[in-house]
Each structure stands twice: as structure tokens, then as C-alpha cells.
Structure 1
Amino acid sequence: MTTYPVFDGHNDFAWEVRKQFGYATEHLGGSIPTTQTDFERIRAGGLAAQYWSVWVNPDKIHGADQVTATLEQIDFIHRLIAAYPNELGAARTAAEAREVMASGRVASLIGVEGGAQIGGSLAVLRNYARLGARYMTLTWSRTIDWADSATDEALHGGLTDFGRDVVREMNRIGMLVDLSHVAPSTMRDALEVASRPPIVTHSGALSLCSHPRNVPDDVIREIGARDGVLMVAFVPSFLRQERRDWDVNGGGGEAPAVTVKDVADHIEYFRDLAGVHAVGIGADYDGSDEMPEGLEDVGCYQALFAELASRGWSDADLRALGTENALRVLEASDDDYTRFMAGEAGEPIGRTAALIGSVEEE
């Protein structure tokens, strides 16, 4: 069977390396049995481009320390690329990603997983972009000062006024707005404000599985209409209702099986509501302890393509799913990003210090 290249929207390898190896890059070139990601399995799975997630655990790291930890994560990604130049290549735009992919290396991009990591400052957001971050997830699993999360108490009814400014500023500087993790009200507010195609980097369809991390039908349709992309996560509790119910009820006994077929069902659901141009893959490897049978690690992507091919998917549609949709959405914001990096994007939107009502003079 044809090996289809994959542009994956979300991988938490950086945090795993922090936990297991203290950000050391030595010895990452071989097999790593304690992670779901290593170069040997990357080659086997056909991974061609990756948004490497830079995530900070807000339950353990607070305030300005989240900014520091985010910078450490970004630094690690840059050092990883430099340490393994035959395997990875830095990319910030779709054109750069295609060039790296054509060289046989993994085009490596950065996504920030959580709006709390800007510390309430649009200046921090802009500096993440300058360091190569091309998307930000508006929240992680906790509601923050300016946006409601899907898995925490709602405090704002979606986005605050500053949250809307965050979305506008991300559009201005070419950072993609990621709607994974956020409450449906936050999704809808962001779509109301956004002027560029949005993304969902690692979620499923709410109608197929009632996990609050999943996306409701009206948002799925709207993202398709906005020429965005919805990237399906492989997290078992997002994929099958019986597995979600088992988790909610305490997880006793044997877990209901989740397989590659369940992932394919979510991809087809997104396709049917949003269009084949709006589907992608955001597995969340190294962000979930368990993965579906047949998709246990980054070496297994091609099993998903085989399943979809057996359902009648064309070669063109499989290539759109694998890489082309994600590249198209990135490219739609590349001119904004290029202008920003050249200092030609105009004046910032909103206040730099988001949570300060006025500038105080000493």
C-alpha cells in the first residue's frame, strides 16, 4: 500500500523529555521504549511534519513561571532540531514545511498549548511567534482569566473582551487559533471574531462521543465553511462512548476496546459535516497514556489510511487528510506571519498588559 505522509497537529514529546530526561537531547536518536515517539517509529509511520506541542502543567507551574517553562519547551524543540539535522528540519511556513518534507526530514513546527502560558500579556504572545510558534490553543483544561475551558467551570460565557483581542492579535501576527480544549461558547466567540481559518488540533466529534473535549456539530460545520481544519485525536476516551462512560464510572474491570475503526469514524463524521478539505490528524501521542488498538505509537499512522482506503477513500482525499489540508490552513496565515516577522504588520491590537487597567508611572 502507498505510504501517506502525515502532518500531525499535536505531539507532547517535549514534555515527556522534560519529565524523563530533563530536556537532554543525548540518546534520543535511538529507540525510546518509554515514549510513544522516536525517530525509528517516525520513519515507519510516515510522519512528515509535526506541530510539536509546548505545554506547561498549570496545576504545578503558576504565574510567570509558566512563561519560563514555555520558553524552556521552545528552547528544547530548537535544540532537538539542531541535534538531529538528518531527521528534523525547522519550518515556520507552509513553503518551508514542504521544502523540509521534500528532503526526507520531518518538518518541525511549534504550537503553544494553553493561553495561560502568555501570562496575560500580548507581548509574550508576540515573542512566542517570533520564536517560531505558529498556533496557540486558547486554553488547556483549566478556565483562565480570559477564556472558558471545556473541562472546567465556565466563568466568562466564552471569551472576555481581552480574549477577543487575543484572537485578533493572533490573526494579525499569523498565529493559528486552536479551538481544542475550549468550551463551545469559547469556540463560537472565537469564530465570531476570527478573520483567518481556525484549527482544532486534537479533538473528536461530540455527537459520536460526549466527552466535553469534543466539538459540537455547529462548530464543525462552521470550521469547514471557514476553510479551517479539524484534526482528530487518538485519545480513547474521546472516541467511543462506551470508553467514555467506563472512565466516568471509575474504570473498573476491563476497558472497552477502542480501535483504528473508531478514529476513522470520527474522521468520516468531520468529513460529512465540514467537507474533506477540513479533516486532519492530531493524534496527541505522548499526551495520553493509552492509544487505540493498532495506533499505539507514531509508527502506526498507516493503519488509519488502510482503514479509510478500505472504506472507499480516494488517493487524493487521503493525501488531503494526511498533509495537504493542514498545509493549506497554515499557508492561509503565512503572509500575516511573514509581515509580522519583517516588522510590517502595523500596530498591535489591544493592550500589551492585559490584566492591568491603566499604566502606572513610578
Structure 2
Amino acid sequence: MADLQDELHTTTEVGEFGDDLPESLPEPASTAFPAKPYAAGPGTSRLDRARALLAEHPVADGYSGLPWALRHLPWYDLEMGESAVDTDVPRLREGHVGALLWSLHLPESLDGDRAVGATMEQLDLVRTVVRMHPEGLRLAHSAGQITDVRHCGRIAVLLGPAGAAAVGDSLGILRSLHALGLRLLTLTGVSWASEAGLTRFGEEMLREMNRLGVLADLSGASGETIRRVLAVSKAPVVCTRSAARALRPHPANLPDDLLAQLGAVKGLCMVPLTAEQTGATVRDVADHLDHVRALAGAECVGLSGTYDAGTAHPQELGDASCYPYLVAELLRRGWPEADIALLTWGNVHRVLRGADFAAHAAQQRREPSTATIAELDG
């Protein structure tokens, strides 16, 4: 579908990254995280310490725009390295990325049947890409599977988020997409999840997502939608690309009251590494992580590279290999290793596990819904 390929913008960087971080830092306040310790002698640099920590607790990246970017390349080899994109297997390994969510988002001009069809094509593309790179990538659908993939020395690929338009206002299409591997759905851009909040059909869609184990992604959703989802959902919710609006007034960033509410229900705010949302330097990104951790708690903050999504990235964070620079900055600020372990891996694992648990419980209580939007919102 050639007409689907005209809205991707080339990714650019803000500045170049470099290793200018100070070399020494007092030991963090806590080292109590469930993994074997690593040796950090007196001559160990902070960047070396960051890499050692990431080797034990790799990054679970909340958003990659790679599928849409690959549609524009006539040929690519992600295992050997691909300079036309920000993400390939060598750079993922250098950045200690153990899992990433591959976005199925589409240009906003696509809706209705075109959005459903284009999402199916994206799903097919992701499966093909993973199959073409068996030494580096492997599909995963659950918390247990991403751990298994990591133990096999591969990088786990999870499918989603997709835009809500992809389900075509149909619970049956939602179930079909889930059967193909979809794990996250972004609740924006549809009549049942709008500025006014969730409609009756929107609430039924959310209940069916809970029953299936499809996580609700609230990045870009209206405040009313977010508040209603937090009240109704029986499973954890995530914001795959949201930072702190108090530090940078971007519409996808969350105000302090919503960050506090998200923390209260143990949701997950995944801070994007984009200049537009977080600022032009690695220290700006760390400021947002500090802010979200302070308001929502260490168990409710994660990372979202947002690479290959047509956005500019901060200095020192230009591609998927650069996560050690961010972790080194957090160590400089005195983040406990336990909190960094949650940030990079533990919180995503917890949310996926929570979605699976909620789905198992819901499936004991209710059958697949046959409701339609005409019945509930007509």
C-alpha cells in the first residue's frame, strides 16, 4: 500500500553524544535488587558501572517506530547493522536492550477500514522482520516469554501499541488482533475515547481488553479518558510516551495530578527520549525521570526510546545504543541500583505480569462480549 508510506519523517538528532560524565560517585543508598552483584572497584567509571548494571537489568523499551520505518527501505539487515534507521541488533546489544515494544501506529489520515487493513499489514511485517533475524530477535507475548527470550540471548519483540482506530469499533476485531499477538492499544482518536472521556462502548472495550490481556496505552489520551480508565480498568495501564508536563508543556506529557493518580494504581509512565517532550540533553531526560519517580513512585516509571518514530533525540541519546549514558547520569544523581533495575526492566515485567493475571481472572467471570457500538452508544 504505497499510499501508506508518505508520512514518515526522517529521524534527526539534537547534538552528538559523548562521554563527558564525571568518573566518580559515592555508592548509591541501596543495592538491594534481586540479581547477582557485579564488581565495581575504586577505578571503575560511572559509565562502566552503568553498563554492568544494564547487563543484569536490561532495558525494556516502551516504544519503537521501527516497523513503519522499515516499510521505506528496499533492503535491510538488522543483524549486521542498518545505518538507515536508529535501531538494529548490534546497537540494541550495545545499549543493553532486552525487550522492546514495536509500535503499530499509523498516520492520522488513516481511519476506518483502511486503518484496520494497514494494522494487519504492520503485524505481518513485524512477524516477517523477526523471522528474518532469528539470531537477534524473537517474538514474545507475556512476562514469562520475555524472560525466556532474554535467557536465550535474544531480544524480545512485543507487538503494540496500535492505535484505537485499528479495531474498527469492533470487539471481534480486537480479539482477532490479540490472537495475532497485539498487547497494547492506545485509547485516542476514536469516538468512544475522546476529549469527553470513555463512552459506554469505550468502557466495554476496556473490559474486553482486560479480559484478553491487552494493555491500555494512555499517552495522548484526554484527561477525562485517563481518569475513567484508571477508575474502570482491572489491569495495570501504561503511558508509552509521556513525561512530566510540569517540566515541559507537551500535550502527551502528564500533569502532576495524573502522575500521582497513575502511581496510586501502580500504572507505568514510560518517559520518551525525545527532545520535543523531554529536552535537548540527557540531563533533561533525567530531570523528567526524577520528577515522575518523586510523584508516582519508583515502581511506576519506565523508559521509551521512541527511536525511528520521526523525532529528534537529546544529546548522548541519538540511537538505541545509548542507554548506558542515561543510566550513568542517574547514578551520578544517586539513584539506588534497585530503582534503576525497576526503571529498565522490572516495571515493564510487573505490568505485563499484572495484565496476564487480570486476564486470567476476568476469563473466569465473563464470556467474550458481543456488544456493538450501535447498541451502547447509538
Which TM bucket (shorter chain)?
0.7 to 0.9
**CA deviation after TM superposition for structure 1 residue 183, in Å:** 1.3
CA deviation map 1:239-273 (0-9, x unaligned)? 24xxxxxxxxxxxxxxxxx1011111111111000
Does 2:91 correspond to 1:41? yes
2:367 is matched with which residue: 347, 353, 356?
347
Other structure's SS at 1:99 match: helix
1:13 is matched with which residue: 57, 66, 71?
66
User: In 2 relative to 1, CA 185–131 (structure 1 residues): closer, same or farther, beyond 3 Å?
Assistant: same
**CA deviation after TM superposition for structure 1 residue 99, in Å:** 0.9
User: Unpaired segments of 5 or more residues in structure 2?
Assistant: 1-47
**CA deviation after TM superposition for structure 1 residue 338, in Å:** 5.9
Does 2:167 correspond to 1:118? yes
1:167 is matched with which residue? Answer: 206
Q: Distance in 2 between matches of 1:201 and 1:119?
A: 22
**CA deviation after TM superposition for structure 1 residue 309, in Å:** 0.4
2:340 is matched with which residue: 294, 307, 318?
318
**CA deviation after TM superposition for structure 1 residue 278, in Å:** 0.7
CA deviation map 1:13-67 (0-9, x unaligned)? 000011334xx6x5333322221111121111111001111112131x3321111
Alignment check: 8 A CA contact 2:140 2:156 kept: yes
1:235 is matched with which residue: 274, 282, 304?
274
Other structure's SS at 2:284 match: helix
**CA deviation after TM superposition for structure 1 residue 165, in Å:** 1.4
TM-score by length of 1: 0.85
User: In 2 relative to 1, CA 75–339 (structure 1 residues): closer, same or farther, beyond 3 Å?
Assistant: farther
Alignment check: 8 A CA contact 1:235 1:288 kept: no
Does 2:101 correspond to 1:51? yes
1:213 is matched with which residue? Answer: 252
1:79 is matched with which residue? Answer: 128
User: Unpaired segments of 5 or more residues in structure 1?
Assistant: 149-153, 241-257
Higher RCO (CA < 8 A, seq sep 6+): 2
2:79 is matched with which residue? Answer: 29
User: In 2 relative to 1, CA 350–275 (structure 1 residues): closer, same or farther, beyond 3 Å?
Assistant: farther
1:251 is matched with which residue? Answer: none
Q: Distance in 1 between matches of 2:82 and 2:277?
A: 26
Q: Distance in 1 between matches of 2:370 and 2:254?
A: 29
Q: Distance in 1 between matches of 2:144 and 2:160?
A: 18
CA deviation map 1:130-169 (0-9, x unaligned)? 1111111112xxx322122xxxxx4xx1222211111111
Alignment check: 8 A CA contact 2:235 2:358 kept: no
1:293 is matched with which residue: 315, 332, 354?
315
2:145 is matched with which residue: 82, 90, 96?
96
Equivalences, count: 325
Give the aligned CA root-mean-square deviation in angstroms: 2.0
User: In 2 relative to 1, CA 337–89 (structure 1 residues): closer, same or farther, beyond 3 Å?
Assistant: farther
Does 2:158 correspond to 1:109? yes
Alignment check: 8 A CA contact 1:9 1:231 kept: yes
1:259 is matched with which residue: 262, 281, 306?
281
1:133 is matched with which residue: 163, 182, 204?
182
Q: Distance in 2 between matches of 1:357 and 1:168?
A: 14
Q: Distance in 2 between matches of 1:208 and 1:86?
A: 41
Q: Distance in 2 between matches of 1:288 and 1:65?
A: 22
2:192 is matched with which residue? Answer: 146
Alignment check: 8 A CA contact 1:58 1:66 kept: no
Once the two structures are superposed, the pairs formed by residues 274-289 of structure 1 within 5 Å of their partners are 274-289=296-311
**CA deviation after TM superposition for structure 1 residue 219, in Å:** 1.4
AA aligned opposite 1:18? R
Q: Distance in 1 between matches of 2:370 and 2:300?
A: 31
User: In 2 relative to 1, CA 35–161 (structure 1 residues): closer, same or farther, beyond 3 Å?
Assistant: same
Alignment check: 8 A CA contact 1:235 1:292 kept: yes
Q: Distance in 1 between matches of 2:360 and 2:97?
A: 26
Q: Distance in 1 between matches of 2:78 and 2:93?
A: 14
Alignment check: 8 A CA contact 1:120 1:355 kept: no
2:218 is matched with which residue: 161, 179, 182?
179
Moved more, 261-270 or 159-168: 159-168
